[in-house]
Amino acid sequence: MALLGVAGAITISSPVKAVELMKWERIPLQVPLTTGQERIVFVNRNVRVGFPPELNGKLRVQSTGGAVYLLAKADFASTRVQFQDVENGELILLDVTALKGTQVREPVSLVYREEVSSATASNSVSVSAAESVTSGNREKTASGDNEPRITTPLPIALTRYAAQSLYAPLRTVEALPGVHAISHGLPSIITSLLPSEPVAVRPLAAWGVQGYNVVALKLTNQRPEKVVLDPRRLMGNFHSATFQHRWLGATGTPEDTTVLYLVMQGRPDAAFLPEPVLPVVKSKGRASSGGKAHAN
């Protein structure tokens, strides 16, 4: 995909698959739908889905492997839909709306603050739904047959692990076999990632597992206007991109900062475009030694 870079240069960037993270904190989650388009919610739990009778014929719901597929067949106002965890009975509440339009809605992946139930085979996300994993990503680790398996596609598992590591108490972070902190090798301020937006980008931390790496970056709005974040404007070679929030508020407000999670294969610094080289400003004349000049 060709994107317009700084000073009119054309930079080639591979397509970025985005997943929107939503943190479940017992507050109903707002999930907008585009009528006629299917949206996936990765619950990562075995759930039953319930919705009121007024949505019959308006909303098609299918649930399998920890993923719920929502297809709005007609417009409808905000309506409460509930997912019930079949293991512990916990309810997860969504306020779903549907409107006509052309906006393509990214899949949603739920993040939990409390400790997540142990994964089972029915909790694994389907390959076709994620569009980003091969069967090899779900093989057991090479250390032995009794080692735990990663049943969620690696890009999603890494993104969820990074989000929990930054936002959740350490004791509640869901285990990810083989994950380890890595050195990202990035500059303290990155200007080449999102040059079309007035956003300051600073790397926070990075983790890796089985050849995939995720880098968490802090995004801060530098302008008094709201900024809507679009993964298609990211410059670089990334496997997937996930914004903690879809927009930034005006600078100086509590909403002016969010976190971006970028997943790539290989070294993180190799996935980013090189930072522009600043011109060297030469000083005019020699620096004074501090003494007075004497005439001959």
pLDDT tens column, 218-236: 999 999 999 999 988 999 9
Say how far apart CA 173 and CA 180 lie, in whole Å.
13
pLDDT of residue 17: 55
Determine the CATH number of domain 26-112. Answer: 2.60.40.1080
What does the alpha-carbon distance between residue 222 and residue 200 come to, in Å, rounded to a whole number?
A: 7
Instruction: Report, in this order, helix, strand and coil percent for the chain, each rounded to 5.
Output: 15, 35, 50
Q: Read off the pLDDT band of 283 (50, 70, 90).
A: low
Q: How confident is the model at residue 63 (pLDDT cuts 50, 70, 90)?
A: confident
Q: What's the pTM?
A: 0.53
Q: pLDDT class for 152, splitting at 50, 70, 90?
A: confident
Mean pLDDT within 102-117 = 73
- Per-residue pLDDT, averaged over 35-52, amounts to 88
Q: DSSP labels for 194-207?
A: STTSSEEEEEEEEE
**Are residues 239 and 268 in contact, defined by beta-carbon separation less than 8 angstroms?**
no
Domain boundaries, the chain: 1-15+153-277, 26-112
Share of the chain above pLDDT 70, in %: 74
Top-confidence residue, 204 or 14: 204
**Per-residue confidence (pLDDT) for residue 16, from 0 to 100:** 52
- pLDDT tens digits along 160-174: 889 888 877 767 777
> Which of 24, 13, 33 minimizes the C-alpha distance to 262?
13
